[in-house]
Amino acid sequence: MIHIVLHMSRSVATSPTTLRIVATLANSLVSIATRLIAGSLNMPEALLRDTGEFVVAYVAEVEQRSALVCPRRVMRDLRQRQHVTHRNPSQR
């Protein structure tokens, strides 16, 4: 019986419809969380998102190099990567 349940759960989890629903739910949860955090900090959502992206990029850079780096360079590199991926979405 457990084999049937595992097989069914795998087939449901990999169907395009299920993946689309999960992606939609994840995006909705992120949007709601962003609104709640931005509201509690009394700041615009766009500023919160950009700050979050900067912090993630900065932490990734520090972890990669194991040393503090220039925040301006990290932001410049982040903008350059975003510019490249927006121009060529297949690189995502």
Q: How far apart are CA 45 and CA 39, in angstroms?
A: 8
**Residue ranges of domains in the chain:** 1-42, 44-92
Q: How far apart are CA 44 and CA 24, in angstroms?
A: 23
Nearest to 57 by CA among 45, 48, 47, 69: 69
Q: How far apart are CA 21 and CA 27, in angstroms?
A: 10
- pLDDT of 32 reads 92
pLDDT tens-digit profile of 22-80?
A: 788 888 988 898 899 999 989 898 888 888 888 888 888 777 776 566 778 778 888 88
Q: Are 74 and 58 in contact (CB under 8 A)?
A: yes
- pLDDT of 48 reads 87
